[in-house]
Structure 1
Amino acid sequence: MWKALSARDWEQVKTFLSDDCIYLDMPVGPAAAARGPEDIVKRLKIGLEPLASYENFTGLLVDNGTDAMYEHSEEWHWPTGESAVLKFVSVHKVVDGKITLWKDYWDMGALANNAPPTWMEDFANADMSWVFDATGLV
């Protein structure tokens, strides 16, 4: 899944997600989660598709067969020249070979301090049809 995400191969990313998978950025919280492969990819595209380049750097992966924690970093480069290295811990629940829950823990300030000045405005104007309120589910 991480190789597909690094390649921004959206169709391949979807194949790793269960039909009812919930994805959320923990800094934002469960009220702005995405649910299901189509909406999760819509959500991921908001941040990653506009980038000139994006790379995921492998880190520590720990799992117990169902739950996985992946400490990694991502390097983002915008077409306007800005760049950021973002440190993540991603937590997955995997059932029958599919991710059913995906939570990303990261420092929103690291992104906001390095992104282009239009970053928040671009996000606010993006397609938000993916928003799913997962409060009480995660």
Structure 2
Amino acid sequence: MPVEKVVEGMWAALSARDWEQLKTFLSWDCIYLDMPVGPAAAARGPDDIVKRLKIGLEPLASYENFPGLMVSNGTDVMYEHHEEWHWATGESAVLQFVSVHRVADGKITLWKDYWDMGALANHAPPTWMEDFATADMSWVFDATGLV
């Protein structure tokens, strides 16, 4: 399967918040990190990556990824896209992303998201950071030196 199709499939599963389908696109040792936070707060492996993603996305009333430009060298994929987040309390945010993925043997082995955390903090409900701070953090993996 072309690497672009792997990345498109993963994002379709994430947009649907189909956590089990999402896991099928990730290698057993895949590293995921939000670049605004840095490699010390990465997640590793499909189960922990899903735990990490659920903190932000599961509480939303609706979430959708909108495709954009995708560029690949056959292994690495850069994907410019945006997400729309809507909370049940009425707040919403449009977040611009560039995601970088490395794909090997049909699985994503590295996933880095570059985005403006301030854009989220400025539009999220007041309890957003408090909810994040009390979430299950068992997924935290220090990827310093690996990415």
TM-score range, shorter chain: over 0.9
> Secondary structure of the equivalent of 2:60?
coil
> Secondary structure of the equivalent of 1:59?
coil
The 5 A counterparts of 1:45-84 are 45-84=54-93
The 5 A counterparts of 1:107-118 are 107-118=116-127
Give the gaps of 5 or more residues in structure 1. none
Superposition RMSD on alpha carbons, in Å?
Answer: 0.3
TM superposition shift of 1:117: 0.1
Quote the residue 1:98 is aligned against.
107
Give the gaps of 5 or more residues in structure 2. 1-9
TM superposition shift of 1:29: 0.1
Quote the residue 2:48 is aligned against.
39
**Residue by residue, what CA displacement relative to the aligned partner does 1:10-34 show, whole Å, maximum 9, x if unpaired?**
0000000000000000000000000
In 1, the alpha carbon distance for the partners of 2:67 and 2:101 equals 16
Structure 1 runs, 4 residues or longer, greater than 3 Å off: none
Count of aligned residue pairs for this structure pair:
138
Residue 12 in structure 1 maps to residue 21 in structure 2 = yes
In 2, the alpha carbon distance for the partners of 1:82 and 1:123 equals 17
TM superposition shift of 1:89: 0.3
Normalization by structure 1: what TM-score? Answer: 0.99
Normalization by structure 2: what TM-score? Answer: 0.93
> Secondary structure of the equivalent of 2:68?
strand
In 2, the alpha carbon distance for the partners of 1:132 and 1:55 equals 26
> Secondary structure of the equivalent of 1:65?
coil
TM superposition shift of 1:91: 0.1
Q: Percent identity?
A: 89
* Aligned partner letter, 2:82: S
TM superposition shift of 1:109: 0.3
In 2, the alpha carbon distance for the partners of 1:97 and 1:61 equals 17
